[in-house]
């Protein structure tokens, strides 16, 4: 296994130390393993907390700051955080107006956040939860753990964070987040698996001429394997999957995220974005805003995901408000 690490067991803690050094404007608690906005808790402001396994950076720690998250709790690599951590983050940002948890829909995340919410409730902190489940590669049926939370998480966190900044109630912040999730759909493909620090190996091995279609962000195998195809075919596959699962009427306004999974160069992401934009245009979908880059990653996986999120004027306005975090910044 070839990685810039000292010891696989201490990767998350040591990376947190690096985040602390790089971002003095954040409060990083190495003991509790949480990253907190330095001015938290703010009286009367809803606290916004997210978290999940590490290995998806900049998600979530890179989105902590004014206009977005108040705190993030990174678990071990690809392992959801534990209730203690989530509780510590929740308490650190509770300004008396309640706390909203943004939780990606994975069994482990859901259970650990639920336990933490219960503990927080015992301590008198009202917790609302937004569940993100935008990955349409997974069927949304009672026969599965449900759709995974992936790229739309960033949009949920930005929009909910913007609303929280205005002094809105926890219920309203959670509702806005849920509305984003409702309108969001994602689909990912991979050309090569990732390498986790603890295991070294990969979740799957791909022959040189094949790709995994419908992958998640945890190195797990995808829904199926296909022959590798040109970028334009892969873009069409993703656009079809996304629009197939959540059809958009012509003229719909969207935010589009063309996201790298960590090991794909930006030049390829832009190339893919060009294909996607042309296809969406042909489908009558309007791209009001876009992001191209590595935002919700899967360590060094060579792959990309497309997120298309239907937005109305209010959500778009919330997207546009100033944000100042390590990985997303504008207007300030």
Residue with tokens 């958009």: 248
Relative to beta strand 47-54, strand 99-104 is parallel
- The token pair at 22 is 């790089």
Query: What value, to the nearest 5°, has the Cα angle with vertex 267 and ends 283 and 221?
Result: 75
Determine, following the binding rule CB under 5 A, whether residue 54 of this chain makes contact with Mg ion: no
Q: Which residue from 119, 99, 78, 82 is spatially nearest to 36, judged by alpha carbons?
A: 99
Give CA–CA dist 289/316, Å, rounded.
8
Q: Out of 20, 115, 178, 231, which residue is the one contacting other proteins (CB under 8 A)?
A: 115
Determine, following the binding rule CB under 5 A, whether residue 79 of this chain makes contact with Mg ion: yes
Q: Is 56 a catalytic residue?
A: yes
Determine, following the binding rule CB under 8 A, whether residue 295 of this chain makes contact with other proteins: no
Q: Which candidate in 60, 101, 128, 218 is catalytic?
A: 218
Choose from a copy of itself, Mg ion, ligand ADP, none: what does 107 bind? Cβ within 5-8 Å by kind.
Answer: ligand ADP
Q: What residues numbered 219-278 form the site for other proteins, per CB under 8 A?
A: 219-221, 223-224
Binding window for other proteins (CB under 8 A); candidates: 37-45, 76-84, 170-178, 305-313: 76-84
Q: Out of 304, 306, 311, 318, which residue is the one contacting a copy of itself (CB under 8 A)?
A: 304
Q: Is 218 a catalytic residue?
A: yes
> Which residue spans within 57-126 are E strands per DSSP?
71-77, 99-104
Determine, following the binding rule CB under 6 A, whether residue 107 of this chain makes contact with ligand ADP: yes
Nearer residue to ligand ADP within complex by CB, 106 or 273: 106
The string over 295-331, giving b where at least 16 C-beta atoms fall within 10 Å of a residue's C-beta and e elsewhere, is: bbbbbbbbbbbbbbbbbeeebeebbebebbbbbbeee
> CB 107 → ligand ADP: shortest distance, Å?
4
> CB 277 → other proteins: shortest distance, Å?
27
Determine, following the binding rule CB under 8 A, whether residue 16 of this chain makes contact with other proteins: no
First-to-last alpha carbon distance for the chain, in angstroms, is: 40
Cis amide bond preceding 60, omega within 30:
yes
Residues lying near other proteins in the complex (CB under 8 A) are found at: 9, 53, 75-84, 106-108, 111-112, 115, 137-139, 143-145, 148, 196, 198-199, 201-203, 216, 218-221, 223-224
Could you list the active site residues? Answer: 56, 218
């Amino acid at each position: 296994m070839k990685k810039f690490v000292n010891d696989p067991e201490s990767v998350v803690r040591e990376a947190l130390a690096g985040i602390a050094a790089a971002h003095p404007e954040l409060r990083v608690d190495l003991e509790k393993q949480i990253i907190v906005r330095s001015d938290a808790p703010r009286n009367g402001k809803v606290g916004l907390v997210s978290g999940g396994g590490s290995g998806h950076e900049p998600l979530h720690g890179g989105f902590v700051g004014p206009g977005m998250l108040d705190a993030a709790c990174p678990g071990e690599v690809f392992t959801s955080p534990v209730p203690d951590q989530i509780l510590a983050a929740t308490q650190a940002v509770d300004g008396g107006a309640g706390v909203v948890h943004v939780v990606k829909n994975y069994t482990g995340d859901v259970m650990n956040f639920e336990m933490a919410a219960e503990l927080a409730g015992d301590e008198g902190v009202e917790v609302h939860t937004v569940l993100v489940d935008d990955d349409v590669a997974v069927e949304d049926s009672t026969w599965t753990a449900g759709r995974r939370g992936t790229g739309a998480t960033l949009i949920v966190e930005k929009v909910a964070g913007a609303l929280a900044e205005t002094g809105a109630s926890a219920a309203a912040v959670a509702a806005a987040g849920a509305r984003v999730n409702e309108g969001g759909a994602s689909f990912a493909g991979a050309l090569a698996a990732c390498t986790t620090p603890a295991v070294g190996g990969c979740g799957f091995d791909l022959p040189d001429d094949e790709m995994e279609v419908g992958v998640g962000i945890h190195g797990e195998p995808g829904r199926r394997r296909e022959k590798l195809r040109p970028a334009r075919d892969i873009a069409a596959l993703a656009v079809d999957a996304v629009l197939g699962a959540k059809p958009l009427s012509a003229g719909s306004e969207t935010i589009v995220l063309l996201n790298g999974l960590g090991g794909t160069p930006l030049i390829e992401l832009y190339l893919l974005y060009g294909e996607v934009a042309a296809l969406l245009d042909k489908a009558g979908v309007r791209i009001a805003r876009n992001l191209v880059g590595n935002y919700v990653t899967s360590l060094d996986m060579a792959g990309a995901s497309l997120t298309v999120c239907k937005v109305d004027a209010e959500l778009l306005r919330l997207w546009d408000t100033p944000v100042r975090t390590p990985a997303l910044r504008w207007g300030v």
